[in-house]
Chains A and B, each alone.
Chain A
C-alpha cells in the first residue's frame, strides 16, 4: 500500500497541474519524425474501434470488404438490434446500475474518508486498516459467497443483487481520505462555531472543496460498473436483468455468423463511454491520473 501512497501523494500535489501544461522544450527536425510515428501509432490504436463502427453501418454482403467507408451506409443493423428490444433493456439496466452504484460509492466513500481523516476517536486506525485490507481480496474470491448469499436471500436476477457488492469501495475511501487532508481543519472549526452540525459540515463545507477528487472517483466507478462482467454474469440468468456486457456475450454466441450485428451490439456498448470521453476528455485524463491507482 505504501507504494500507492507515494504515488498518490505525488499525484495529488502539483503533478496534476503540471500534467496539463505544454511540453517541456521545443525540438528540431527529429521532432517531425517522432510526431509522424506517434500519430500513426495512435491511428493504429483506434483502428479496432473504427472497424467496429464501420462494420456496424454495413449491409451483410459488404462485411468482408476491407473498405473502411461503407459503400452504402445503413442504420439497418441498429434498427434490427434495437427493434428486438433486448438491447434497450440492457442499456437501461447498465445505466441504472452504474448510476446508482456511482452515487452510493461517492456518498459513502467520501463520508468514511472524511470521518477517518477529520475525526479523532479510538478505533479510527483499526477501521482504516480493516477497510484498506479489503483491497487485497480479489473479486473472484468473493463472487462465490456473494452468489450463495444472493441465492439464499432471493437477490439473483434483481438490480439490488447486481449492485450490492459495489455500493462502496475501499479504494475510493482511501482516495477521499487523502484529499480531505487538504481541507484545513480551521474551515471545519469555523463551521462548527457557526453552529453547523457534523453532517452539514461534511456536505456543505468539506465536500465542495474536494470536488476534483469526487469527479475522478465518479469517472472510475461509473466506468468500472459499466464494463463490469463477471459478477453481473453470475448474478443474472434472466436476460431482462442482463447488463450490456453480459447481454453482448450471449448475443454474440447466438448471432454467431452475423458479424455486422455483433459489431452493432459492441458499438452500442462502447459508444456511450466514447462520446462521454470525447466531451470531457481533459477532465477524464486528469481524473485517471488522480485516481489512477484503482484495482
Chain B
C-alpha cells in the first residue's frame, strides 16, 4: 500500500492494477490532484462561491424572511443617494489619510534610530512591539477608559492635575475620529518598525562606507541611500497599512458601542455600516452586500493606485 495515495485510494485490486500500470509522471499527477482535492473544495466553497454570492446579493433585495428579489442597481442607487453613506465614505478615507502617513513616519523614525542603538536593543524593540500582540477589542476598551471625562478617564484626570480644562476626546465630532485612530496607530507601530528595521539591515554597509568616503552628511545619506533603497519596504507598508485603515472596525465598534459610529456618525467607517445594515435591527442583506462591493472596489483601486505611484518613482 505504501506507494498508493490514500486520497485517491483504490478500493479494488482492479484499480490497484491500473495504478501500477501508470507511468511515474502520471502517478505524480494523481498524487498532486489527490493532495489538492480538499483545498480546492475549500477555496471553491468558502472563497469563490461567497464572493459570487456577495455580488449577486448586491443586486437583490432580501430581509432574510421573504424570497430574494431582483432589484437591479436599486441598492447602489440608494447608497448613492444616502447622505450617511457619503459621511461614512469620507470617514473611511479620513482613517486612511491621517493614519497611514502618521504611522509610517513614526515607525520609520523609530526604526532608523533603533537600528543604531546597541545598548538594550532587544528590550527597547520589545517595548515598541508589545502593543502589536494585543487584541484590538481589549485595547479599544482600555483606550475608551483613558478617554472618559473626569473623574473616570485617565487622560482628563492627568490634565486636571495641571488645571487644564477637559478634552472631549470621544464626545466631540471633531476629536472622536482621531481618538479612535490613535490606538489603531499605536497597535500597528511595532509591526511597521520591525519591517522597516529588516529593510534597513538589508542595505549593504558598503554603500554607507562609500558615502562617508565621499563626505556625504547623515542627512544626505538618508535621502540618497536609505530611502531610495527602502522603496520596496515602503511600498509594502503603505499598501498594507492603507488596507488596514480602510477596513477599520474593531476599534470603532468597541469604543462607540453605546452610540455606534457616533457622535453623529462622525466616526463610522464603511465596515461598521456594513455590519449594521446586515445584522443590526432589520437586516437588509442586499443593501449590505452592495456596501461590501463598494468596499472591495475601494480596496482594489487604492492598492493598485499606490502600487503604481510608488513603483514608478
Q: Are A274 and B54 in contact (CB under 8 A)?
A: no
| B1-35 residues at the A interface, CB under 8 angstroms | 2-6, 28-29, 31-33, 35
Counting CB contacts under 8 A, is B271 at the interface? yes
Counting CB contacts under 8 A, is A49 at the interface? yes
Counting CB contacts under 8 A, is B285 at the interface? yes
Choose among B35, B57, B186 the residue that contacts A111 (Cβ–Cβ < 8 A): B35
Counting CB contacts under 8 A, is B42 at the interface? yes
Q: Are A34 and B127 in contact (CB under 8 A)?
A: no
| B140-172 residues at the A interface, CB under 8 angstroms | 141-146, 148, 151-152, 154, 157-158, 161
Q: Are B198 and A289 in contact (CB under 8 A)?
A: yes
Choose among A22, A41, A252 the residue that contacts B257 (Cβ–Cβ < 8 A): A252
A248-270 near B? 1/0 per residue, CB < 8 Å: 11001100110100110111011
Q: Are B125 and A285 in contact (CB under 8 A)?
A: yes
Q: What is the total number of residues of chain B having a CB less than 8 Å from a CB of chain A?
A: 110
| A13-48 residues at the B interface, CB under 8 angstroms | 15-16, 18-19, 21-27, 31, 34-35, 37-39, 41-43, 45-46, 48
Q: How far is the CB of B310 from chain A (nearest CB, A)?
A: 8
User: What is the total of A-B residue contacts with beta carbons within 8 Å?
Assistant: 301
- Contacts A3-B239, A48-B139, A138-B295 given; indicate if A165 touches B31 (C-beta within 8 A): no
Counting CB contacts under 8 A, is A190 at the interface? no
| Set of chain B residues within 8 Å of A276, measured between Cβ atoms | 133
Q: How far is the CB of B39 from chain A (nearest CB, A)?
A: 5
Q: Are B250 and A51 in contact (CB under 8 A)?
A: no
Counting CB contacts under 8 A, is B83 at the interface? no
Give the complex CA separation of A69 and B161 in angstroms.
18
Q: Are A148 and B285 in contact (CB under 8 A)?
A: yes
Q: What is the total number of residues of chain A having a CB less than 8 Å from a CB of chain B?
A: 110
From A80-88, A113-121, A178-186, A205-213, the one touching the partner chain is A113-121
Counting CB contacts under 8 A, is B293 at the interface? yes
List, sorted by A's number, 29 A–B pairs whose CB atoms are closer than 8 Å.
Answer: A15-B201, A22-B121, A23-B116, A24-B115, A42-B124, A49-B134, A111-B39, A115-B32, A119-B32, A130-B48, A134-B47, A140-B295, A141-B51, A141-B295, A141-B296, A148-B285, A168-B39, A197-B2, A197-B4, A202-B35, A227-B135, A252-B144, A259-B148, A263-B142, A265-B141, A267-B138, A270-B134, A281-B126, A282-B122
Chain B positions within 8 Å of A, measured between CB atoms, are: 2-6, 28-29, 31-33, 35-36, 38-40, 42-43, 46-51, 53-54, 57, 110, 113-139, 141-146, 148, 151-152, 154, 157-158, 161, 183, 186, 189-191, 194-195, 197-198, 201-202, 205, 208, 232-233, 235-236, 239-240, 243, 247, 249-250, 253-254, 257-258, 271, 274-275, 278-279, 285, 288-289, 292-293, 295-296, 299-300, 307, 311
